[in-house]
Amino acid sequence: MSDVLAVNAVDLTKTFGPLTAVDHISLQVAQGEVYGVLGPNGAGKTTLLRMLFGLIRPDGGTLELFGRSWPRDGVRALDGVAGFIESPKFYPGLSGRRNLQLLAGLDGLDGPGAAARVDDVLDAVDLLGRDRDKVRGYSFGMRQRLGVAAALLRAPRLLVLDEPANGLDPAGIRDMRALVKRLAGSGLTVLLSSHDMAEVEQICDDVTIMRTGQVVYHGSIATLREQAPAQAHRLATTDDERSTAVAHRMGLDVTGAADGGLAVRGSQAQVDALIAALVTAGIGLRGLALSETPLEALFFMLTESAPDAPTADLEPAATTGARR
């Protein structure tokens, strides 16, 4: 595989009036990588992806896709790049297959070659069997998968997906995750945005975490995991005051949970020991649930601190994604 980066964005900046939606963001995605752009609502993810597709012009910085850039190569900069921004749109009164045939026609594909290509992409997203149904009858997850199929029609080398799991139910999220993993396994480079750390951690190699237009972390999921705090459990007991005292004596970090009960932060072994101690002390346990994985806790730390506060003390943003 070539060493040319699939995406090489340097210092990209975009302002809307007084608002800097994307503030000097640099992002490198190697070919074959699955890369996540993560951030809460309004972080600037969609704006970043829009610039990548040439839908809006950056006010500063440079952007290359497979070594090609907008000013220099015009629309050829998008050769080998496909995907969707926000939700894909289709004619609801036409079948999924017919929608894809029309899109293939717009790309100049026709005849048996086009029919075979439509079959292939429907198969890739598990929609064969429902392909002759009208899109209006599709679930949201099926529409998202049809959006991926539409992107695959162009046989891209880079697939860009803006919040592909947004609004999906758990089964839809599982299917979308499996689809992205399958596509990545076939060698496709994937750049996706999300506001869900759990989604990104399961499918991405590297991640850029954004908050209000700026990068707060840039590097591998593995490194992020090493720096994450202990997981949090929500605990409901018959006597929270005594439980807190027991937990403090054991050196555990305990606070009142926002929605009632106690939030306990510690390793699984520490939490197990706490439960045993509570039972020994005659305190009844009414509920125990994992409320935050370590990476989710870190994501909230990074993205929810006050705007002027320094970001968490993590490694400075590395600028090169690992190649697989």
Interface positions with ligand ATP (CB under 6 A) = 16, 19, 21, 39, 41-47, 195
Pairing between β-strand 232-237 and β-strand 206-211 as defined by DSSP bridges: unpaired
**Is 237:286 a contact under the CB 8 Å cutoff?**
yes
DSSP string, 32-72: T-EEEEE-STTSSHHHHHHHHTTSS--SEEEEEETTEEHHH
Q: CB of residue 87 vs ligand ATP: minimum separation in angstroms?
A: 11
Would you state the structure tokens that stand for residue 281, as one six-digit string? 């002390």
Residue written as token pair 């994604």: 321
Q: How far is the CB of 321 from ligand ATP (least distance, A)?
A: 20
Structure tokens at 147: 């959006």
Q: What's the distance, CA 149 to chain centroid? A: 19
Select 100 or 204, whichever has its Cβ closest to ligand ATP.
204
CB of 239 to ligand ATP, least distance (A): 41
Nearer to ligand ATP, 68 or 218 (CB): 218
Which one-letter amino acid corresponds to residue 241?
E
Comparing CB distances to ligand ATP, the nearer of 42 and 67 is 42
Report in angstroms how near the CB of residue 60 gets to ligand ATP at its nearest: 16
Residue 225 has a CB neighbour count (10 Å cut-off) of: 13
Which C-beta is closer to ligand ATP: that of 88 or that of 261? Answer: 88
Smallest separation (angstroms) from ligand ATP to the CB of 144: 15
Going by C-alpha positions, the residue among 79, 318, 46, 26 that lies closest to residue 192 is 46
Alpha helices, H only, the chain: 45-52, 70-73, 96-106, 111-124, 140-152, 170-185, 197-203, 221-226, 240-249, 268-280, 294-304
Cβ closest to ligand ATP, residue 16 vs residue 140: 16
C-beta of 26 vs 270, nearer to ligand ATP: 26
Cβ–Cβ under 8 Å, residues 219 and 315: yes
CA distance 157 to 199: 22
- Provide the token pair at 129: 């069997």
Give 45 or 234: the residue with its C-beta nearer to ligand ATP. Answer: 45
Q: How far apart are CA 23 and CA 25, in angstroms?
A: 6
